[in-house]
Structure 1
């Protein structure tokens, strides 16, 4: 409670929506580190190389109170001769940061930053940072850099089903019969006493994470011309003799000039390994990663941009690597003034304007590009985006430097502005570019403004004091002006991505096959931009920001302190959970609606977000974050940030919700963009595979294809306004407030909803889908991928367990933990089936199961061969589990217990966990403690018996194949093939026949609706006991 920040998520549902609240991937297996020694983070650069710019000023400091002894070892002696733990006082850190920092330089030239964090260990307490990591549930398809990771995270052994890229959250199904609506005040008092007792009884020892990193000044820029991708390839072959090949490190991350490695460095440098059979396997892995990257417009655009550099410049190198050893061809010189037309993979219109600037790394204390991007990316009145939105030309704008190795290094720095255009905007892209140039010219004429700089500095200072450390910046007008004056039209590169460019592009980028053309700027615009063009009076600097917090007083408790949230409001219209320390949310809704109603809900939330963009942007830059999510069963409103001005933002959102309106132009713009969003989700094999799997398992779910087709059939603004009115008329609101907020203020937040004037729901609605019971046997649903230029296939083999207890859920979690390493070793390392290989513990709307997923390529393997190999692995794993030693079993149990005991590193982790319990109506806030107790009760025979029972006769098995395009997957009659054939505009599932390989052992699914209509439904279920 040392931080004055609050988190406020909210979900609302209406009569016409299912009453499931949105949720992220919570309840993942907690990841932790060793307790035996204090966590240490070591950051170092090798001598003679460019230093990595740290977020503190330590590279400029001399070691304080340190002796460098023989061999370069650093010794620090306390007053009584013992080792001290005091940090260097010269290193500036946040007042709320309990860690100690020390900078040292060894005799061999290695520079290191040591970070010690021993707060809250062994019963000791200390201030904790209130860092709120941004939740990645907003997977906006407008962002070209979006990787659209779904729930299948290979780092997670325990997963709760999560929904698609658009930010919809899918959650567990839970039995409404277990929800007691007869709780009175006495019951709530008893609950409070019980929670207080559990708080006192809870073990105080916790686990903390450890980490170490090494930065070496060499990377992909150093690749030889005849071995493109060498640095990336070496990433896959790191290993050392003592620690058995590749098991000695956690992660290797390769950038253009630097390599960041997590592993046991000493042995790596003493005896690195390069084993021939490992090399052959990892060539396949590198190629698989390249194949996965090829359909990404962001990767293709970056590769194209690099290819247009002057011949010989390292940015023109091919960093990914592939099986064939190819030499770099001659690049187009960058001195010519031009713009590029590009044909994207996804349905998108985007204009990217890029400048190559002199290196800016040395100005890290001034941060000139941060100042410029803050203004260029502003969304308030007078901004570029505000002007373009009013003309219905643009939906989003991103500007700045991403500080990746490609965008910022010792040879250049990139400043780019990427604008997501509407259909109309793509026809006026010259006018859009001119608006950008007018804004930049206005900034150049005004020069750097100290008021703006100090406002940014104030916001960053708030973050510095109450979140992670950031470097104190200095206002140097000359440095900012020099960078700003580089951003002129004649030095800009323009790239227009649009499907309308199909047929206009006669060039193809060598490595990713991107179709593009290089055009001269039209004479009219070229002449205008060379002259002293007029400024736009609608563009101006932002006004003073009223949302910047100034009151950071820590609020005193106005009710008994508890470890877990307690219910402080309960009415027929909703209820509120409270814990002093961070967040507010609200869920739920109604009967299964037709697909078009679900689409109308998506449109409603998108337009509401659009309407809020300008008035709420000042709050956003003041570190007050908000998110609106169209969940499967209701609206989620999430607000977080410094509590001082948080009520202003929350009330603003409720006001816009209560007074919702839309113009025909905005309605047309949003619906057109939503078509692209649905389309872009569907053309990815991994998201289509998830959509198909959940369409089979969850009764009454509408697939993304259903939604896409409903939208293509046409919807009207009148139908939207009627839907919104009906939606707001009957609601159930459930919320959680956690943070530096008193319970009294929390109730005030809840009262804001009175402006909506809604009635209670006529009947209580479940917060999940009902799940079908799979019949015994191996069922196979095999469909063709929807992007005909994509070789990637996705194969998931799923075993359904059923309605299980918390103990069985934890047992499955332990099983998957045992499975992870042998799964990776068998399917990826030895069989080289694909880059993404992982087992997952699945909680699908309360129904337990587990799966193994492999991402492969149709250019290398048939999906049925991959399915067969997964079964081979599971058979070998069954034998491995039966022969597991007691020592190995106990080691894994202990490891999982330590992971679950690992303390939360920031407030957001605890809030996410608590909100998950509220939004799924489980309310088991001490779930981790119950899971730890269950783990202590398991035996080796429990594990073996459970796995054998689910793999034996009568097992319920579902394989989902999304099949890519390549030589190992035969084409259907009349189906076009090849990279230039584009995506399937009809957006209809094409079921593929089973080959003789699996024909005798599987039951084909060739019509999902027909298959599921005959199946029994499992009861709603909560995994709470």
Structure 2
């Protein structure tokens, strides 16, 4: 999938931060004397940066512990370089590079090679660059590098696929038409300074690309695709010497055209003594206020002091003294984000985006005043040195102990960093803090002014008089010089506003506890109502721990009304703890309090010293959350909007929800919850939660750098603060799955208000035995590429085309998904089913070499090591409580895979999809403009269907 990232390097902080009241804050400028290594003892990563003779910058990263090898190429051209007569050209060219090269002319050679070897590829276009990337198993890395390098040496740009891929770009645009953030982004860009490069349509569609032919593509490619403005990353388990050899062998032929880096007008918005206001009607029922401030500075050059990050950590703060805290207390807002990003090497922007309540919408001018009041407070205050010191300390800690990832996410980050930052710190620039720079911080603050602002207000009920060209957004635009506007230049500072206080969650103790003698998870609590496992980290040796608990509730809580009340209760808890929890997130902790399929999930992970504090605060708020009636009503409106807006999400997401409604019990759709939630009151939620923990079954896992005694101590403390109890004989919620014990094809149809249709077919077979799982993991590697090539590249049915395998406790399955803006669901179904029926024969005709490659990649997938403590904890938890398989499950499946023959897998494939034997569910989701030719459905009502079926 080639997804467009509209903003690069976004430093947005979901406003959630610290706490205090309106007294003088003790901003004790603490110096963190951290005893952390510059490099962790177990980190085997080696780095080398080189510049080839053609001036291509390359970063080489070798680590024998990588699961996958990966590569990324950064090209210093993006959508702001689109010619006005061919808007979207940079993005369209990105698509075309995947469709054959002189050395590898077959359109699916690259994708097939990667799929057969467990790989994956993608690309995206932002305002200022394009990035191509892939990952693959180590033994196939050189072959993938060879194919990848040809993108930048000899692409074909064939006429045959130019028109077809133009349709794919148009399908991608059609997919995004109901995305309010893209609509907002486009609307703001179109009202920047006339003639400025931001004033462009970035993704393109059939209208803007209709005159693009091979000549236009080649001209754009020759103009901007030059090795001297490209940067490459190669990451693998091979030695640095081998990686360098491949870089020189395969990329030295990329032509150096000595193209200079693009330079753009840094002033994106004319300075006007006027209040510029856009009013827009969104697709979803959501109320937003967005203030955008163009910044005419070379922001990438400020990597050492990171003033945008510091600013985001103040404006985006959510604790006492914050802008959001004030807005919530006045009943004007429910969430806020603040931050900024470079848009090119010459300019960037900062923004504040606020989700408004109904009262906030009515009084949006007052909300704008509060924003400028907070900005003025920042201007009047001392430079927040304590925030810089905290972020610098967290950078040091993160570089030493964090999971830096691998694969495409790391590769693209390194390639991009190589372009924008000095080569010597490209791998660590995200963690790098040099010295505080108050001058740059003040300079950025100086651009947060009313005469350098574009204000956007978004709500369903706004009156408008214009329609935006590319997304069809209804809007109006005003420029006024009112008394309100004039008041913004000299705002009074609210007494409740002040800088964040120091973060109590930043760890300073990094001791590794002694290891005990067993490797397998051990049950350390096993009694009535409790079952907790402990597994100690023997892989990573980081001072981190994970607590993953599931509070299993009695069966009565599985009813619709109780399920909705549980959603409201969890939302109240999260709202109550919000001001405390954000500094924990900043301090590299992760946590979640959420409804689960059987009750309540509580998850905390991070550094030992900090997780204990956070877990205690979570249990305190679970048992004693605090929320006012007014704030509850605003929260209720937000929850109900979330349920109701589901009908406006992507067609494939809505179709997935329908599938889950069939397969899972209990499961309630967003529309069911929307109806049931209308009458919920705070009193009902309080009554519901008063005794919720008096009869539970607590299950969970503690994993990481922790002793048995410490784990038991934390569990006891958690239970005591919750006041948990257990009643003998109670029946608890169990997630159950639809039982299909004979050949049956379930077909369901639904009409929607979406502009896309969706076909979703799920084949269900076997009982998720070792044989079933082994066969499906192998089949997944086979079906993905031919289905994608036929349905998307050749048939042009839609941008989203997926195929793969899935497993549940009782069964295994294969799925095929197509989202289409051009073709109705029943027509897509006919085309897809016809092709799927041919796939077993395609599988049987596969040569032995290809079968061996597919089998090898399936084995490699099972051999993949966890990349972090949290990932390993998740894997162990899933084996214990979700998949319920032995701890050595991978070894068992690998042994079966090794012995599996092509004939055996072929028989499984044929049986799974044959008309006579198949057990399947087909969801036909019809877009608003697509009519069905004739009904194929044999199920009309899902709830009636479920009431007559068994779930186990």
Could you report, residue by residue, the CA deviation over 1:219-257 in whole angstroms, capped at 9, with x for unpaired residues? 222221111111111111113122334433733222222
Check conservation: 2:644, 2:674, Cα contact below 8 A.
Answer: yes
Q: How many Å separate the matches in 2 of 1:806 and 1:436?
A: 59
Q: Secondary structure at the match of 1:686?
A: helix
In structure 1, the partner of 2:446 is 485
In structure 2, the partner of 1:630 is 595
For the pair 1:544 / 2:502, whether they are aligned, the reply is yes
1:520: Cα distance to partner?
Answer: 4.0
Q: Secondary structure at the match of 2:657?
A: helix
For the pair 1:961 / 2:823, whether they are aligned, the reply is no
Flag the 1:954–1:261 CA change in 2: closer, same or farther, 3 A. closer
Q: Secondary structure at the match of 2:531?
A: strand
1:553 to 492, 501, 511: 511
Check conservation: 1:767, 1:921, Cα contact below 8 A.
Answer: no
In structure 2, the partner of 1:244 is 105
Q: Secondary structure at the match of 1:325?
A: helix
In structure 1, the partner of 2:486 is 527
Q: How many Å separate the matches in 2 of 1:245 and 1:945?
A: 30
Which has the higher mean CA deviation after the structures are superposed, 617-626 or 352-361?
617-626
Gap regions ≥5 residues in structure 2: 1-7, 12-36, 112-120, 134-144, 212-267, 405-427, 538-544
In structure 1, the partner of 2:247 is none
1:287: Cα distance to partner?
Answer: 0.6
1:700: Cα distance to partner?
Answer: 4.3
In structure 1, the partner of 2:284 is 346
2:457 to 492, 496, 499: 496
Q: How many Å separate the matches in 1 of 2:9 and 2:927?
A: 42
In structure 2, the partner of 1:235 is 94
Check conservation: 2:590, 2:606, Cα contact below 8 A.
Answer: yes
Q: How many Å separate the matches in 2 of 1:769 and 1:1009?
A: 15
1:633: Cα distance to partner?
Answer: 1.7
Q: How many Å separate the matches in 1 of 2:714 and 2:868?
A: 23
Q: How many Å separate the matches in 2 of 1:506 and 1:914?
A: 57
Check conservation: 2:546, 2:606, Cα contact below 8 A.
Answer: no
Q: Secondary structure at the match of 1:298?
A: helix
Check conservation: 2:124, 2:131, Cα contact below 8 A.
Answer: yes
Which has the larger helix fraction?
Answer: 2
Q: How many Å separate the matches in 2 of 1:53 and 1:758?
A: 44
Could you report, residue by residue, the CA deviation over 1:336-366 in whole angstroms, capped at 9, with x for unpaired residues? 5311111111111111111000131121222
1:327: Cα distance to partner?
Answer: 10
1:940 to 902, 918, 926: 902
Check conservation: 1:220, 1:232, Cα contact below 8 A.
Answer: yes
Q: Secondary structure at the match of 2:525?
A: strand
Q: Secondary structure at the match of 2:351?
A: strand
Could you report, residue by residue, the CA deviation over 1:378-400 in whole angstroms, capped at 9, with x for unpaired residues? 11211111112222322211111
Flag the 1:688–1:667 CA change in 2: closer, same or farther, 3 A. same
Could you report, residue by residue, the CA deviation over 1:635-678 in whole angstroms, capped at 9, with x for unpaired residues? 11111111112211110111111223432212211111101111
Could you report, residue by residue, the CA deviation over 1:887-916 in whole angstroms, capped at 9, with x for unpaired residues? 322221111111221222223321221121
Q: How many Å separate the matches in 2 of 1:307 and 1:774?
A: 57
Q: How many Å separate the matches in 2 of 1:633 and 1:732?
A: 10
Q: How many Å separate the matches in 1 of 2:798 and 2:901?
A: 34
Check conservation: 1:777, 1:1003, Cα contact below 8 A.
Answer: no
Flag the 1:95–1:352 CA change in 2: closer, same or farther, 3 A. farther
Could you report, residue by residue, the CA deviation over 1:975-1006 in whole angstroms, capped at 9, with x for unpaired residues? xxxxxxxxxxxxxxxxxxx634xx5xx45322
In structure 1, the partner of 2:546 is 583
1:268: Cα distance to partner?
Answer: 3.1
Could you report, residue by residue, the CA deviation over 1:262-286 in whole angstroms, capped at 9, with x for unpaired residues? 3545433442211122112111111
Which has the higher mean CA deviation after the structures are superposed, 467-476 or 332-341?
332-341
2:192 to 295, 306, 309: 309
Q: Secondary structure at the match of 1:669?
A: helix
Check conservation: 1:309, 1:316, Cα contact below 8 A.
Answer: yes
In structure 1, the partner of 2:468 is 509
Could you report, residue by residue, the CA deviation over 1:149-175 in whole angstroms, capped at 9, with x for unpaired residues? xxxxxxxxxxxxxxxxxxxxxxxxxxx
1:926: Cα distance to partner?
Answer: 2.3
Q: How many Å separate the matches in 1 of 2:695 and 2:564?
A: 19
Could you report, residue by residue, the CA deviation over 1:42-91 in whole angstroms, capped at 9, with x for unpaired residues? xxxxxxxxxx9999xxxxxxxxxxxxxxxxxxxxxxxxxxxxxxxxxxx9
Q: How many Å separate the matches in 2 of 1:801 and 1:955?
A: 8
Q: How many Å separate the matches in 2 of 1:697 and 1:98?
A: 45
1:576: Cα distance to partner?
Answer: 1.5
1:578: Cα distance to partner?
Answer: 1.2
Gap regions ≥5 residues in structure 1: 1-51, 56-90, 121-206, 971-993, 1021-1025
In structure 2, the partner of 1:743 is 708
1:113 to 53, 59, 79: 59
For the pair 1:396 / 2:335, whether they are aligned, the reply is yes
Q: How many Å separate the matches in 2 of 1:583 and 1:957?
A: 38
In structure 1, the partner of 2:527 is 571
Matches for 1:719-730 after TM superposition, within 5 Å: 719-730=684-695
Q: How many Å separate the matches in 2 of 1:477 and 1:662?
A: 38
TM-score, normalising length: structure 1? 0.75
Q: How many Å separate the matches in 2 of 1:716 and 1:251?
A: 46
1:505: Cα distance to partner?
Answer: 0.9
In structure 2, the partner of 1:377 is 316
Matches for 1:35-50 after TM superposition, within 5 Å: none
Which has the higher mean CA deviation after the structures are superposed, 452-461 or 546-555?
452-461
Aligned length: 799
Matches for 1:48-67 after TM superposition, within 5 Å: none
For the pair 1:810 / 2:744, whether they are aligned, the reply is no
Check conservation: 1:308, 1:334, Cα contact below 8 A.
Answer: no
Q: Secondary structure at the match of 2:370?
A: helix
1:332: Cα distance to partner?
Answer: 9.9
Q: How many Å separate the matches in 1 of 2:627 and 2:438?
A: 43
Check conservation: 1:308, 1:333, Cα contact below 8 A.
Answer: no
Q: Secondary structure at the match of 1:1004?
A: coil
1:495: Cα distance to partner?
Answer: 0.9
1:884 to 821, 846, 852: 846
For the pair 1:294 / 2:294, whether they are aligned, the reply is no
Q: How many Å separate the matches in 2 of 1:464 and 1:431?
A: 42
In structure 2, the partner of 1:1009 is 943
Q: How many Å separate the matches in 2 of 1:931 and 1:536?
A: 63
In structure 2, the partner of 1:101 is 47
Could you report, residue by residue, the CA deviation over 1:107-128 in whole angstroms, capped at 9, with x for unpaired residues? 322222221213x5xxxxxxxx
In structure 2, the partner of 1:366 is 305
Check conservation: 1:236, 1:282, Cα contact below 8 A.
Answer: yes
1:432: Cα distance to partner?
Answer: 1.7
1:924 to 886, 895, 900: 886
In structure 2, the partner of 1:846 is 810
In structure 2, the partner of 1:68 is none
Check conservation: 1:95, 1:465, Cα contact below 8 A.
Answer: no
TM-score, normalising length: structure 2? 0.80
Choose between structure 1 and 2 for higher RCO, CA contacts under 8 A separated by at least 6 residues.
1
Check conservation: 1:547, 1:622, Cα contact below 8 A.
Answer: yes
Flag the 1:94–1:110 CA change in 2: closer, same or farther, 3 A. farther
For the pair 1:683 / 2:648, whether they are aligned, the reply is yes
Check conservation: 2:82, 2:88, Cα contact below 8 A.
Answer: yes
Check conservation: 2:128, 2:344, Cα contact below 8 A.
Answer: yes
Flag the 1:113–1:321 CA change in 2: closer, same or farther, 3 A. same
Matches for 1:252-263 after TM superposition, within 5 Å: 252-262=123-133
1:483: Cα distance to partner?
Answer: 0.9
RMSD between aligned alpha carbons?
2.5
Q: Secondary structure at the match of 2:349?
A: strand
Check conservation: 2:306, 2:433, Cα contact below 8 A.
Answer: no
Q: How many Å separate the matches in 2 of 1:434 and 1:782?
A: 50
In structure 2, the partner of 1:29 is none
Check conservation: 2:620, 2:721, Cα contact below 8 A.
Answer: yes
Check conservation: 1:399, 1:415, Cα contact below 8 A.
Answer: yes
Q: How many Å separate the matches in 1 of 2:102 and 2:290?
A: 47
Q: How many Å separate the matches in 2 of 1:234 and 1:732?
A: 56
Q: How many Å separate the matches in 2 of 1:374 and 1:549?
A: 18
